[in-house]
């Protein structure tokens, strides 16, 4: 439809020569390297990063004021991701304690954390077959909290200090209904007792870091269940099917 109307189009892809790339006016490759797993991980984080860089280029083109140094902040995030991977045993322990014997789980978050929660829930259900849903934490008590049962794992994401206290209120609400909570907080939003504390990074880019933790959660859940992490049942790469 875009081509029919004569508008220029841009495809952001990790697959050179894909159908979308051939159809679009322009192609921006991710250069993330081949992904062996069906479920997207590094291509996903690379896509967010490339879109952030694209936004920075548009800012410069339009002469908008700079709010932070994109190159510096992405370097900070790369270092923070390495730190998370160095401490991945903490994630495995949380998974072993909370997710291996459950049929259902939930992610909650506000603002950007909610979008990470949606990707996190998809990843967990894709490769571990745990029925996982994401909820906007601010809407939790408008009906969806009825799904919380005794022992239900609820994973909360807190990267924005301005809304962290509200999400913590939601954490207490699900705890009161018997949920097993896991809290992933960023420095500046953390409290004693949080399960994982991430290094502080630029708030607008926080999903690039926090999603890596959720990918590890999905990975260790699948591994702990004895499943094939790279080839989950019934799935195929989106570039190979309509």
What is the per-residue pLDDT for 235?
Answer: 63
Strand partners, 105: 132
Contact call for residues 158 and 189 (beta carbons, < 8 A): yes
What is the per-residue pLDDT for 22?
Answer: 87
What is the per-residue pLDDT for 238?
Answer: 56
What is the per-residue pLDDT for 234?
Answer: 62
Which stretches of the chain drop beneath a pLDDT of 50? 241
CA dist., res. 103 & res. 96, Å (int): 14
Residue 66 φ/ψ region, left for φ over 0, alpha for ψ in the -120 to 50 degree band, beta for the rest: beta
Reduce the secondary structure of the chain to three states and give it as a string: CCCCCCCCCEEEECCCCCHHHHHCCEEEECCCCCCCCCCCCHHHHHHHHHHHHHHHHHHHHHCCCCCCCHHHHHHHHHHHHHHHHHCHHHHHHHHHHHCCCCCEEEEEECCHHHHHHHHHHHHHHHHHCCEEEEEEHHHCCCCHHHHCCCCCEEEEEECCHHHHHHHHHHHHHHHHCCCEEEEEEECCCCCCCCCEEECCCCHHHHHHHHHHHHHHHHHHHHHHCCCCCCCCCCCCCHHHCC
Q: What is the pLDDT of residues 57-71, one digit of tens each?
A: 999 999 999 889 999
């Amino acid at each position: 439809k875009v081509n029919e109307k004569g508008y220029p189009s841009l495809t952001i892809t990790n697959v050179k020569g894909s159908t979308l790339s051939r159809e679009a006016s322009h192609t921006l490759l991710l250069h993330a390297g081949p992904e062996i797993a069906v479920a997207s991980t590094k291509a996903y984080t690379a896509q967010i990063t490339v879109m952030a860089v694209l936004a920075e280029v548009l800012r410069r083109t339009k002469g908008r004021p700079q709010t932070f140094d994109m190159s510096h902040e992405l370097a900070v995030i790369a270092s923070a991701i390495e730190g998370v991977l160095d401490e991945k045993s903490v994630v495995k322990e949380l998974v072993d304690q909370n997710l291996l014997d459950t049929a259902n789980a939930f992610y909650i978050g506000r603002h950007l954390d909610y979008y990470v929660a949606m990707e996190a829930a998809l990843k967990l259900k894709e490769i571990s077959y745990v029925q996982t849903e994401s909820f906007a934490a601010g809407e939790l008590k408008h009906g969806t909290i009825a799904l919380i049962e005794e022992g239900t794992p609820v994973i909360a994401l807190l990267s924005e200090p301005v809304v962290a206290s509200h999400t913590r209120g939601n954490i207490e609400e699900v705890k009161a209904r018997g949920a097993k909570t896991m809290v992933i907080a960023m420095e500046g939003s953390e409290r004693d007792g949080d399960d994982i504390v991430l290094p502080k990074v630029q708030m607008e880019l926080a999903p690039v870091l926090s999603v890596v933790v959720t990918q590890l959660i999905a990975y260790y859940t699948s591994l702990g269940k004895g499943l094939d992490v790279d080839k989950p049942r019934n799935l195929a790469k989106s570039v190979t099917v309509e």
